[in-house]
Amino acid sequence: MRLTDFKVFTFDCYGTLINWETGILNALRPVFGSEPVRHSRDEFLAAFARLETAQEAETPEMIYSELLAVVHRRLAEEWGIAATAADHRAFGSSVGNWPAFPDSAAALAYLKQFYKLVILSNVDRASFAQSQKRLGVAFDMVYTAEDIGSYKPDLRNFRTMIDGLRRSGHPVGDILHTAQSLFHDQAPANAVGLRSAWIDRRSGAAGSGATPQPPEGVRWDFRFASMAELVEAHRAELRG
């Protein structure tokens, strides 16, 4: 199997193209950073992963900016940190400030020459619109949790995207789903028959960061440490 076998690259955004762990920690700092250092970076991220995943399952219809505000409130309550409603809202609206990985924009610009590019993301439209400015490319289709009414790893999100691409002339065999989170993306991609590339942004790091542990047996077809590494693999294929 080769990257050049595909016609459509579908992407998770946050964790894959946008550095959401840095973004999350930066957005937590105004409230949590003033407290004595009682929790490590990994503890922050693991708590976020647990609370966010639970909230997405509990309120799948809630748009992401509002859901993040609830997660912020629950984290503050759990850790006994004083925070106001304004603090919660500020965290909820922080997605547009989360930085892109340094290689994302250039990699997307390169891939745009060869593939249709599609987003499948657990955010709302307004938040993604801010992130898209950082990525610098016009995506051919964008599917958000707000559009679909559920959050990955719900298979509904993947089936909605697959159906949309099929209607545009692209069967599932044309699609390579490209993502960092084995929990949110590769595992459900396995379930719906999508080929996938794992962008292992946490390569060499302990734990799973801001995502829950994936189920056992999750599979992927390609593995790269970065988007830049994926691009180099594609160039190598073209060189033969």
**Pair (53, 111) in one structural domain:** no
Contact 60, 146 (CB under 8 A): no
Domain boundary (97, 116, 132) is at 97
pLDDT at 95: 96
Query: Which phi and psi (to 5°) does residue 178 adopt?
Result: -120, 120
Number of domains observed in the structure of the chain: 2
pLDDT band at 210 (very low <50, low <70, confident <90, very high): confident
Last residue of a domain, one of 97, 132, 161: 97
pLDDT digits (tens, 9 = 90+) for 72-126: 999 999 988 889 999 999 999 999 999 999 999 999 999 999 999 999 999 999 9
- Does the annotation mark 12 as catalytic? yes
Do residue 72 and residue 55 come from a single domain? yes
Do 88 and 166 fall into the same domain?
Answer: no
Same domain, 31 and 112: no
224 and 116 fall within a common domain: yes
Assess whether 87 and 108 both reside in one domain.
no
* CB of 208 closer than 8 Å to CB of 185: no
Residues 132-136, mean pLDDT to the nearest whole number: 96
What average pLDDT score do residues 130-151 get?
A: 97
pLDDT digits (tens, 9 = 90+) for 51-70: 999 999 999 999 999 999 99
176 in Cβ contact with 6 (< 8 Å): yes
112 and 210 both lie in a single domain: yes
Distance of alpha carbon 184 from alpha carbon 153, whole angstroms: 5
Residue 34: what pLDDT?
A: 54
Other beta carbons within 10 angstroms of residue 63's beta carbon come to 17
In sequence order, the 6+-apart residues with CB closer than 8 A to the CB of 34 are none
Between CA 185 and CA 11 the distance in angstroms is 9
Report how far Cα 239 is from the mean position of its chain's Cα atoms: 31
Q: What percent of the chain has pLDDT over 90?
A: 85
pLDDT at site 38: 64
- What's the pLDDT at 29? 86
pLDDT of residue 205: 80
H or E stretch including 177?
Answer: strand 175-179
Instruction: Please report, for the domain that includes residue 50, its CATH number.
Output: 1.10.150.750
- Model confidence at 207: pLDDT above 80: no
Q: Which range (19-28, 135-144, 158-167) has the least confidence? A: 19-28
Whether residues 127 and 74 share a domain: the answer is: no
204 pLDDT higher than 80: no
Q: How far apart are the first and last CA of the chain?
A: 14
Residues 235 and 159 in one domain: yes
Q: Are residues 7 and 39 in the same domain?
A: no
Distance CA 61, CA 149 (A): 5
Closest CA to 222 of 212, 211, 210, 232: 232
Structural domain containing residue 108: 3-19+100-239
Domain boundary among 97, 124, 147: 97
**Range in 147-156, 179-188, 205-214 the model is least confident about:** 205-214
Task: Give phi and psi for 119, each to the nearest 5.
Answer: -105, 135
**Do 107 and 85 belong together in one domain?**
no
Closest listed residue to residue 178, CA positions, set 68, 123, 104, 125: 104
Looking at the structure, do residues 142 and 58 belong to the same domain, yes or no? no
Is the pLDDT at 36 greater than 50? The verdict is no
**Candidate list 5, 12, 140, 185, residue with the active-site label:** 12
Beta bridge partners of 121: 144
Return the pLDDT at 240. 84
Q: Which two tokens stand for residue 43?
A: 């503890």
CATH for 181: 3.40.50.1000
pLDDT of 177 > 60? The answer is yes
